[in-house]
Amino acid sequence: MRLLELDHFGLDVTDLSRAERFYTEILGLKVAQRFGHHQVLLACGGQMLALFERRDTPPRVTDRIDNPLGKGHHAFEVSADDFLTARAQFAASSVPTHGPIDWGDHDCLYFLDPDGNLLEILTYR
C-alpha cells in the first residue's frame, strides 16, 4: 500500500457554530460541505478539515499552549505576510498563542481554537 496524500483531518468541537466561525472568519477556511447539523467539512488548500460537534466532549486543557512541542497538533503553512497578519489578528481576537519560534528554515506560531485544540501556523523562508 502507498498512501497518496492527506485527504482530511477531524477535530471534535463542543459548539459547531462557534468553531465554524473561528475557522472561517479567523483562519479563512471555506465551507466545502455540511452533513446535517453536527458536521462541517472545511477546505484548506488541497486538504479538508472535518469539524464534528460533540457537545459532551469537554474542552481540552489550555495549558498545552505553554509547552506545545511534541504535543499532538495540526499545522498550516502560510505566506510570510499572512504570518505577520495572523499574529496581529490573533492578538486582536484574544486567541491564545505561543511564539513565534524560529526553527532556522521556518517560523511557527502555536495557537488554540475555541475548544483548546492545539494548532500551528508556519512560514518557510
The CATH number for 93's domain is 3.10.180.10
Q: Is residue 67 part of a domain?
A: no
* 51 and 76 together in one domain: no
CB 8, CB 51: distance < 8 Å: no
DSSP state of 63: G
Q: Is residue 51 part of a domain?
A: yes
Q: Is residue 64 part of a domain?
A: no
* 77 and 51 together in one domain: no
Strand, helix or coil at 15?
coil
pTM: 0.80
Q: Is residue 63 part of a domain?
A: no
Look at residue 19 in the predicted model and tell me its pLDDT: 96
* 81 and 43 together in one domain: no
CB 52, CB 38: distance < 8 Å: yes
Provide mean pLDDT across the span 34-41. Answer: 91
For 50-93, how does the pLDDT look when each residue is reduced to its tens digit (9 = 90+)? Answer: 999 988 877 666 556 776 766 678 889 999 999 999 999 999 99
Cβ burial of 79 (10 Å; 0-12, 13-18, 19+) is exposed
Q: Is residue 98 part of a domain?
A: yes
Query: Would the pLDDT of 102 be above 80?
Result: yes
Q: Is residue 60 part of a domain?
A: no
Q: Is residue 119 part of a domain?
A: yes
Residue-number span of the structural domain to which 38 is assigned: 8-55
Q: What is the C-alpha to C-alpha distance for residues 123 and 125, in angstroms, rounded to an integer?
A: 7
Q: Is residue 62 part of a domain?
A: no
Give the total number of structural domains in the chain: 2
